[in-house]
Structure 1
Amino acid sequence: MTVLGILHPGSMGAAVAAQARRSGAEVLWCADGRSAESTQRAERYGLSAVAELSEMTDRADIILSLCPPAAAEAVARSVAALSYSGTYVDGNAVSPSTMARIKRILELSGATVVDGSVIGSPPSASKSPRLYLSGPDEALPRVAELFAGSAVQTRSLAGGVGQASALKLSYSSYQKASRVLAAVSYALAADYGVEEELLDIAHGRASSYLTETAYIPKVAERSWRWGPEMSEVADALRAVGLPAELAEASASVMGRWGGLRDSRMSVPQALEHLREARGD
């Protein structure tokens, strides 16, 4: 039986890791320092708790890291410090250059490193995200087998470590930035009382994030994670000589929402957080 370790069981990580149980894998998670919400998710998905990270690195054949991108390198270092020599899959939204650093960190401990990226919503009865994988040819099938017959669709990419990360950020650079632009558009329209007219214009177009106003609070609630991801997008753009200003600006806008993690708010409330303090 393959043993998979998940770092850490957030809403995406727990749901993805749980899909591996369908192939007969045991899924471990480390309870040390995690929140009550993480414990509840892990228990709901049937994950097996270990008290310390060292127990996971001793037992796991494969470790999957799905954490906020700003923490990806620190998580990799914590695993490398325990001389982990199995297969380490970094599934985080990081730039190819960040992924190269993570690869070097883990290879020093003897680990085999696979670059991964999840595109889509957490897997469920109705949703099937894709897990893209790139890296050593011999390692990719072992990871893919974990999710055979599950709601997670694996896709292998040629070209080695960095390819999966590049694909993720290519998608993120549009998908997340466009939602931020829609929010800023509505914040401006609301200041002049023309938001209903803006929505009417957007509905006349074939497709536009401007029609999805209910999503704006969700963007605000997720910006604590999406903001650092857009900084990674900017890093990836600069590395190949492309302009990074839009990604940097999106990260800056999301910074105004950075303290709203897990908040529940209306569209007007989310838009108000975009405004600088004013004296009026």
Structure 2
Amino acid sequence: MDQPTVGILHPGSMGAAVAACAATNAAAVLWCETGRSTASKERAARFGLAPVAELAELLGRSDIVISLCPPAAAEGLARAAAVHRFAGVYVEANAISPVRTKSIAALLAPAATVVDGGVVGSPPADGKAPTLYLSGPADATVRIEALFADTAVQTSVLGAEVGKASALKLSYASFQKTSRVLVALAVGMAREHGVDQELIEIASKRTDSYLSEPQYVAKTAARAWRWGPELEEAADALAAAGLPPEMLRAAASTLARWNDAKDDSELTLTNALDRLAHP
């Protein structure tokens, strides 16, 4: 298989590092420098990306385009690719919802082939090896797998349905990122009362993740009737400490959907999730 020319939109910290890995199996990796910051230009140069002056040139020369940008910019970039009738493989690798991803696929069809992508992990540098999850037409995902073969970017194909990779990315991010915000709130509340070190000591005794124990969801549902009010109290304590209480109030509101499952020891994960979706 001939080495493709790849375009990256745009080389932020993740995009530039991913593009540099793609360069291993590409004839060239292009980026459009017009309107970009000095930091972007320096980053692109550091990763060995080839600058072009106009987006039209990047799209015209590229066999594969990878869109890795802030979520708000995803549709704008896709529209620009559609206007220029990009006809290669377009990897929509932004952290956007499956609905938005499918909308972008429709926007670029039939000229381009869209592969849904989701990067899980840190940028591929300094020994870190993120996974690029892919879903979309098989002939296109095979090309993306080949592009990252023997690089620090691992690939995993989830199937032919556009939207699956986005769903997996956001499902993981919803826990991974929100959990860090919860850490900030918990430690902030504890620090306000001089017990932050004690809190950390308690937490250090359990280092595994509830995300790897989904069966615990049913237990959570059965206890929701008392956990919800407890979180409301915690939200009051956050507010009193000058910390934002909205996240815990939202969690309490979520738990309220399970109030009718009070102490139900027979509740299954499936039943708990059904009740959460359809209270």
User: Who is 1:112 aligned against?
Assistant: 113
User: Who is 2:66 aligned against?
Assistant: 64
State the Cα distance separating 1:72 from its structure 2 match: 1.1
- Please give the secondary structure, in 1, of the residue aligned with 2:16: helix
User: Who is 2:99 aligned against?
Assistant: 97
How many residues in Structure 1 have an aligned counterpart in Structure 2? 214
User: Who is 1:147 aligned against?
Assistant: 148
User: Who is 1:202 aligned against?
Assistant: 203
- Please give the secondary structure, in 2, of the residue aligned with 1:114: strand
Report the TM-score, using the length of structure 2 for normalisation.
0.72
- What is the rounded CA distance, in whole Å, between the counterparts of 1:55 and 1:158 in structure 2? 32
User: Who is 1:185 aligned against?
Assistant: 186
State the Cα distance separating 1:24 from its structure 2 match: 3.8
- Please give the secondary structure, in 2, of the residue aligned with 1:139: helix
State the Cα distance separating 1:85 from its structure 2 match: 1.1
Higher RCO (Cα < 8 Å, 6 or more apart): 1
State the Cα distance separating 1:246 from its structure 2 match: 6.5
User: Who is 2:213 aligned against?
Assistant: none
Q: Output one character per residue of 1:34-78: Cα deviation in whole Å (capped at 9) or x when no partner.
A: 111110110001100000100001100000000111211111112
- Please give the secondary structure, in 2, of the residue aligned with 1:138: helix
User: Who is 2:260 aligned against?
Assistant: none
- Please give the secondary structure, in 1, of the residue aligned with 2:207: coil
- What is the rounded CA distance, in whole Å, between the counterparts of 1:47 and 1:113 in structure 2? 23
- Please give the secondary structure, in 1, of the residue aligned with 2:138: coil
State the Cα distance separating 1:248 from its structure 2 match: 11
Structure with max Cα Rg: 2
State the Cα distance separating 1:207 from its structure 2 match: 3.8
- Please give the secondary structure, in 2, of the residue aligned with 1:99: helix
- Please give the secondary structure, in 2, of the residue aligned with 1:33: coil
- What is the rounded CA distance, in whole Å, between the counterparts of 2:71 and 2:190 in structure 1? 32
CA contact (8 A) 1:95 1:169 kept: yes
- What is the rounded CA distance, in whole Å, between the counterparts of 2:65 and 2:168 in structure 1? 21
User: Who is 1:30 aligned against?
Assistant: 32
Q: 1:59 to 1:159 in 2, by over 3 A?
A: closer
CA contact (8 A) 1:4 1:28 kept: yes
Report the TM-score, using the length of structure 1 for normalisation.
0.72
User: Who is 1:10 aligned against?
Assistant: 12
- What is the rounded CA distance, in whole Å, between the counterparts of 1:61 and 1:249 in structure 2? 45
- What is the rounded CA distance, in whole Å, between the counterparts of 1:49 and 1:191 in structure 2? 50
1:51 to 42, 50, 53: 53
User: Who is 1:137 aligned against?
Assistant: 138
User: Who is 1:42 aligned against?
Assistant: 44
CA RMSD of aligned residues (A): 2.1
Which amino acid is the alignment partner of residue 57 of structure 2? E
| Correspondence 1:128 to 2:129 | yes
Q: 1:157 to 1:83 in 2, by over 3 A?
A: same
- What is the rounded CA distance, in whole Å, between the counterparts of 2:124 and 2:203 in structure 1? 30
Q: Tell me which moved more, 99-108 or 145-154.
A: 99-108
Which amino acid is the alignment partner of residue 51 of structure 1? A
CA contact (8 A) 2:137 2:160 kept: no
CA contact (8 A) 1:125 1:151 kept: no
CA contact (8 A) 1:202 1:208 kept: no
State the Cα distance separating 1:208 from its structure 2 match: 6.8
State the Cα distance separating 1:192 from its structure 2 match: 1.9
User: Who is 1:165 aligned against?
Assistant: 166
Gapped regions of structure 2 (runs ≥ 5): 211-245, 252-279
Q: Output one character per residue of 1:126-173: Cα deviation in whole Å (capped at 9) or x when no partner.
A: 111111111011111111111111111111111410011111111111
| Correspondence 1:20 to 2:22 | yes
User: Who is 1:88 aligned against?
Assistant: 90
Gapped regions of structure 1 (runs ≥ 5): 210-244, 251-280
Q: Percent identity?
A: 55
Q: 1:106 to 1:82 in 2, by over 3 A?
A: same
State the Cα distance separating 1:193 from its structure 2 match: 2.1
CA contact (8 A) 2:91 2:116 kept: yes
- Please give the secondary structure, in 2, of the residue aligned with 1:127: coil
